[in-house]
Amino acid sequence: DYNAVSGVGGTYQIGPVAPGQYFVRANPTVVQGYADEYYNDQKDLSTANPVTVTALNDTTGVNFALVLAGVITGTIRDTLAQPLSGIDLDIFDSVSGQRLRRGATSDVNGVYQFDRLPPGTYNVRADPTLAQGYAMQYYNGKATQGTADVITVSSGGTQSGIDFALASGGVITGNV
């Protein structure tokens, strides 16, 4: 892993690095208020564009135009409205269907938050473990990503109230 911090004018330099292909990410802090992104305005490593470095050459023009981050927040409860802690949540780009490499977990009050999101449209899934005993669910009570409600995040905006009421799940077993 290579790291750099941008200067007052926004310039940065990474290296020297060995020739090859690299994925470059701008990773501002939550306090800075910008969305993290990979080179060429990509939201996630799965869609990121590689940057090619060759020996004895500077690779220039690997620039970023960061936008204000958005937030998705809500609560996870059971069907009796009791908060559920420790529930894992996953987030997907609703256009590509790709799962982003970030997650959230509900706290003791059932509250979760995805921050530093670039503007876009997303699907959110509550993904409890087998031991927790609840059925996986997409936002608004949907069973599949294809039917999941889309959540639109604007630059600097917060989408709150993205709440879940998880039902107890069952298990399918058998032999093959």
pLDDT tens digits for range 129-168: 999 999 999 999 999 999 999 999 999 999 999 999 999 9
The pLDDT value given to residue 84: 98
Residue 43 has pLDDT above 90, yes or no: no
The CA distance from 67 to 45, in Å, is 18
DSSP-assigned letter for residue 132: T
Residue 29 has pLDDT above 90, yes or no: no
The pLDDT value given to residue 102: 85
The pLDDT value given to residue 46: 82
Average predicted confidence (pLDDT) for the chain? 94
pLDDT average, residue stretch 41-64? 92
Residue 82 pLDDT level (bands cut at 50, 70, 90): very high
Per the CB < 8 A criterion, the answer to whether 101 and 44 are in contact is yes
For residue 13 the two structure tokens come to 């330099």
Closest by Cα among 11, 136, 117 to 67: 117
Please tell me which residue, 107 or 42, carries the higher pLDDT value. 107
